[in-house]
Amino acid sequence: MNFDRIKEKLNVLADAAKYDVSCSSSGSKRKNSSDTLGDSSGMGICHTYTEDGRCVSLLKILLTNHCIFDCAYCVTRKSNDIKRVAFKVQEVVDLTMNFYRRNYIEGLFLSSGIFKDPDYTMERLVQVAKKLRLEERFNGYIHLKSIPGASDELMREAGLYADRLSVNIEIPTKEGLKLLAPEKKHSDFIKPMAKVRNEISQYKSEKKIIKSTPKYAPGGQSTQMIVGASGETDHQIIQTADFFYNQFKLKRVYYSGYVPISTDERLPQIGSAVPILRENRLYQADWLMRFYGFQANEIVNTDFPFLETDIDPKLAWALRNMHLFPVDVNTAEKEMLLRIPGVGTKSVFKILNARRFSRLNENHLTRIGIAMNRAQYFIKNVSIGNSFDLSPTNIKHKILVSGTSKYTEQLSPQLSLF
């Protein structure tokens, strides 16, 4: 192995791949058979974290950063004057194997710029996965990018070797896409996604009858949207996410605050802040949809098109629906427990178990780990100090002054000097 040359490529192609935020390595069912390498049947593992606080679970690289497209928001766009390199198939295989054997990673996340045409690119990606599975007998996690426009036949093959497939829609609205990536159409993204969805359900139903049916993308599909590049509202983003969760049975939608990388006038300029707070609120909203039983339009709708920045979306919803509170934790249904601000899914589980043995009081709830500073205003029979006025504005004020948000600086109306 020529380590210097590989190092150079690795640096360029990891740097170009890092704006894809997905790093999940969980949810697959690929078990190790005897005497092969790797296992991705359990939960994912983050092997390290970068200084931006993101988990590193997979070796996330592009096969190449050559690209025939010129999407304004993308760092590898054709018109960008950067160094272009490409990995050979075998080089990616060797890197993955050596990193995996040392317990650096859970597997590989391979994406690519589009060189020549979609099929040519997709074929190379599939080759890497195929080699890892068949020649190296690798059972670790493989996440491949679905290249928009690749043939159905290649997409079918990809799913046989990969644990997860994803295609990033990047821009949440059609108008935004037209402005920033005029060469691409919404349908380009939808087609491979639909193909994979259909294959997954077909393989699943065949597996019920014939046990030896191979696995097809057992980790499902995901996608990503860039936030803050095209002037979209939170309502549009959440609506789009909801559409993909329902129509395409996606496992995850990722939200990526736009990192300015271009002087293009259509986009936020270099030096403007990454919308990290907004991204965080979108993830909170996403969790509410996936784990807390919320409908998209309960969180944001035409009346409230943006998520509140100073409080989380669950608290915001509760304050808009005070007539449903306070809740009696000793009798309420699970669905309602999940809606109490400051009570998470694990606490709900503990409450449901514990209340079969004794009547729960404030003390129990605190020890179980509920965030009482928020929850106390929404639970029956807890002492709420001297606040007798339970109006939404009052509660919000009390919660905000009682805690310190990690975003205090960004929220403060006062400008600091430096």
Partner 1 sequence: MNVIYDGTLEGLFSVFYEIYAQKIKAPLIFKESVYQPALFEKAMHVETNSENAERVVKGIKKKAGKNFYQFFYAAHNDRDNIENDLFAYAKIILDSQQSRSTDYSNPFVLKVSQYGKSVGREKHRMEAFVRFRLTKDGIYFASIEPDFDVVPLIKKHFESRYQDQKWMIYDLKRDYGIYYDLQKTERIQITFNQNKIGILSTSPEIFSEEEMDFQELWANYFKSTNIESRKNMKLHLQHVPKRYWRYLSEKTVKV
CA distance 271 to 369: 40
CB of 155 vs partner 1, minimal distance in Å: 27
CB of 101 vs partner 1, minimal distance in Å: 6
CA distance 248 to 235: 19
CB of 105 vs partner 1, minimal distance in Å: 9
| Helix segments in 249-370, DSSP class H | 276-291, 296-299, 313-320, 334-337, 345-354, 362-368
CB of 123 vs partner 1, minimal distance in Å: 25
Q: Do 144 and 165 form a contact (C-beta atoms < 8 A)?
A: yes
Complete DSSP assignment for 293-326: ---HHHHS-SSS-S--SSS-HHHHHHHHTGGG-S
CB of 59 vs partner 1, minimal distance in Å: 7
CB of 401 vs partner 1, minimal distance in Å: 22
CB of 213 vs partner 1, minimal distance in Å: 23
Residue closer to partner 1, measured from CB, 156 or 355: 355
Q: What are the φ/ψ torsions at residue 32 (nearest 5 degrees)? A: -75, 130
CA distance 146 to 188: 11
Residue closer to partner 1, measured from CB, 103 or 212: 103
Q: How many angstroms from the chain centroid is the CA of residue 195?
A: 21
Residue closer to partner 1, measured from CB, 89 or 322: 89
* Lookup: tokens for 1: 């192995």
Residue closer to partner 1, measured from CB, 122 or 370: 370
CA distance 320 to 392: 7
Q: What is the DSSP letter of 203?
A: H
* Lookup: tokens for 49: 């974290």
Residues making contact with partner 1 (CB under 8 A): 1, 3, 6-7, 10-12, 14-15, 17-19, 31-32, 34-39, 41-42, 45-56, 59-60, 95, 98-99, 101-104, 137, 257, 259-260, 274, 276, 350, 353-358, 360, 364, 367-368, 406
Residue closer to partner 1, measured from CB, 99 or 317: 99
Residue closer to partner 1, measured from CB, 95 or 193: 95
CA distance 312 to 12: 37
Residue closer to partner 1, measured from CB, 53 or 385: 53
CA distance 100 to 137: 13
CB of 32 vs partner 1, minimal distance in Å: 5
Neighbours of 245 (CB within 10 A): 18
